[in-house]
Structure 1
Amino acid sequence: MASRLRRTLLAALVTAAVSVPVSAAARPAAVPAPAPAALARLSAAELPALGDRFAANRGNIREAARMADGHGDRARAARLRAMADPARHFLTFDGRDGGRTAEVFGDLARAERIAVLVPGSDTNLDTYGRFREGAVALHDEMGGRTAVVAWLGYATPGTISSDVLTEGRADGAATQLRSFIRELGTAKPGAQVSLLCHSYGSVVCGRAAPSLDVADIVLYGSPGAGADSAADLHTPATVWAGRGADDWVAEVPHVRLDILGTTVGHGTDPVSPAFGARTFAAGDGGHSDYLKPGSVPLKNLARIALGRATEVTHA
């Protein structure tokens, strides 16, 4: 009975996702932008002189703003001009297809601990501000010789879309994430890197996990990581999971089913005992509240990224 109910709920979710118009979700990708600046792979030799990389990406952002203006999207252009502020530091930027960026907070050259944030659905250049706010809050909480990288390295699915129910977007994103983490590891071989994966971002991290040289993989607000257990991620990293008491993702059926030849759903609930992750207290907030300044989950995420596991509080 429980199995049939789960299948019914998931089938209904698929039907709803496919039938809802996706014109709004497609809009961010429709705005033209230039090809990204051609940059060498990040290296240890470049770290003391990242200014040239930041300047090259700044120029690319400004050109993307001009193209958005020409396209008639004044709101996108204004957001891009704000991103081109000299005080902001982008390791990568590609304004096409909704946007790909990696913005760094803190002094990457001197950082001993690095947190890489991987976002979930509906994150793109038009919604980037909320993702950035979380990165700023996390870096403020971590302090000291740390850096936070807000990695928007893939075309995220819409929250209400068929893509969010499958691993299709995650497969390509995992390749990009593996490449970025390897590059970061080559540039900063002595730093401890933690991967903080929100919502659909945890599906991306799950797909990339076996090849990632990181200290921690943290799944929060997660619909699943595409695995039956933490052990099935095949990673030496410590796997953590947390979910806020008011997070709607708890209602998503945590199953993986073959429906019409497509695997739908993302597997075992990461906060369940069956999954086997180390759980942390995530407070009473909702799906978008994990990185709110002063919140319980923000403090615990910072403790994990700082390597202070014994100070992490538990639900």
Structure 2
Amino acid sequence: MTWWGNAGEASTPSRASSLAPSRERRPPRRGRLRRGLLAALVTAAVVVPVSAAAAHPEIPAPAPARIGTVTATTLDRAYAANRANAAEASRMAAAHGDHGRASAVRAMADPSRHHLSFDARGSGRAVEVLGDLAEADRVAVLVPGSDTTLDTYERFREGALALHHRLGARAAVVAWLGYETPGTISPEVLTMGRAEEAGPELRSFIGQLRGLNDRARISLLCHSYGTAVGARVASGPDISDLVFFGSPGTGAGSVAELRTTARVWAGRGADDWIADVPHGEADLFGTTVGFGTDPVSPAFGARVFAAGDGGHSDYFRPGSESLENLARIVLGRTSEVTRA
């Protein structure tokens, strides 16, 4: 069973992914039944926590490479150091007997991969660049939702690749797995806790991008639980467009509460099960759960773009209306964005 995040289709836990293209279709929604199941799962997630250790067994891994401040002239050195770190992490995971993790991080050591940062400890973190970051006119930073780890990272990357292909050579895409995402069924996925922890990390990273390229316009594209993360850095001056899609809510009641100068967009696919999640906040056993106003509602005040008929994992499906509109937003062709 999946939850607010990137597990895609609720009946297919093995397809855990945040932004991955998918052609699968779910059966017609049965809102009342789902809401009943949701209420039961909310209670279960708060009363019976799922430990992080159970979700991500400890796997030996090296400490991250010592890189220091990355500049436009040291990018290649940083990429090489992180590839070497990934190769060592793969060897250590294989020696430990975890061949799934070994295979996942071995792919990240390929000479074609460009990671600004990489850490294979625990569930893992990785920040990967697609394109020429130092020379790009436009940079899109993708923020994933729940259950995105090194083990599921390649499906997250598929979405980044699809967007980069659509944007063209003058743009760069950054797949930012820079925080510990919550599990799909856990107390953390129901609250702002992980988002509040991740906010400073993302804000610092946006500042780093500015140091690498002070000309590019930066768009922040946030999926599912990642929308709560993106909302934590909305007030920064470095973001031209802030995009929420497949969102359970951002923790804000309206665009005005974000106090941002960025254009704020929101979209939801017609077959996205997140529509059946009650948007709001409630006190449950002394814990505040929920994320407030639905970002696609008029009350929130975002620019609502058409996201087509896709599901929760379909926003970057090649040829989809959602991918076309996301690309138009990043490229600044806002008059061409189709509205819902």
* TM-score exceeds 0.5: yes
Paired with 1:238 and 1:142, the residues of 2 have a C-alpha distance of 19
Corresponding residue number in structure 1 for 2:13: none
Q: Retained in 1: the 8 A contact 2:133–2:212?
A: no
- Deviation string for 1:171-222 (max 9, x for gaps)? 1111100000011012211110000000000010112222352001100000
Q: What's the CA shift for 1:22?
A: 3.6
- Corresponding residue for 2:146? 121
Q: State the identity as a percent.
A: 65
Structure 1 gaps, min length 5 = 1-6
Q: Which residue pairs with 1:90 in the alignment?
A: 115
User: In the alignment, what sits opposite 2:260?
Assistant: 235
Aligned to 2:61: 33
Change (3 A) 1:307 1:287: same
| Deviation for aligned residue 1:134 | 0.2
2:318 to 290, 293, 296: 293
* Cα pair distance change 1:227/1:24, threshold 3 Å: closer
Residue matched to 2:218:
193
Give the total of aligned pairs.
306
* Counterpart residue identity of residue 294, structure 2: D
SS, match of residue 215 in structure 1: strand
Q: Tell me if structure 2 keeps the 8 A contact 1:20–1:160.
A: no
Task: Provide the secondary structure at the position in 2 that maps to 1:38.
Answer: coil
> What's 1:182 paired with?
207
Return the structure number with greater helix share.
Answer: 1
> Counterpart amino acid of 2:45?
A
Structure number with greater CO (CA < 8 Å, separation at least 6) is: 2
Tell me if 1:149 matches 2:177. no
For residues 202-254 of structure 1, the C-alpha deviation after alignment (integer angstroms, 9 at most, x for no partner) is 01011222235200110000000100001111111111000000101111111
Do the aligned partners of residues 171 and 26 (structure 1) sit closer, same or farther apart at CA in structure 2, a change above 3 Å counting?
A: farther
Task: Select which of 265, 271, 287 maps to 2:296.
Answer: 271
Would the alpha carbon gap of residues 246 and 20 (structure 1) be closer, same or farther in structure 2, given more than 3 Å must change?
farther
- CA apart distance, 1:41: 2.1
1:93 counterpart SS class: strand
For residues 203-242 of structure 1, what are the structure 2 equivalents within 5 Å?
203-211=228-236, 213-242=238-267
1:254 maps to amino acid: H
Q: Answer whether contact 1:28 1:125 (CA < 8 A) is retained.
A: no
2: distance between equivalents of 1:25 and 1:273?
41
Map Cα deviations across residues 142-177 of structure 1 (whole Å, 9 max, x no partner). 003100000000110112221110011111111100
> Conserved in 2, the CA contact under 8 Å of 1:29 and 1:99?
no
Deviates more, 1:147-156 or 1:94-103: 94-103
> What's 1:3 paired with?
none
- Structure 2: which 5+ runs fail to align? 1-34
The alignment partner of 1:158 has SS state of coil
**RMSD of the TM alignment (CA)?**
1.9
TM-score, scaled to structure 1: 0.92
Residue of structure 2 equivalent to 1:251: 276
TM superposition shift of 1:137? 0.2
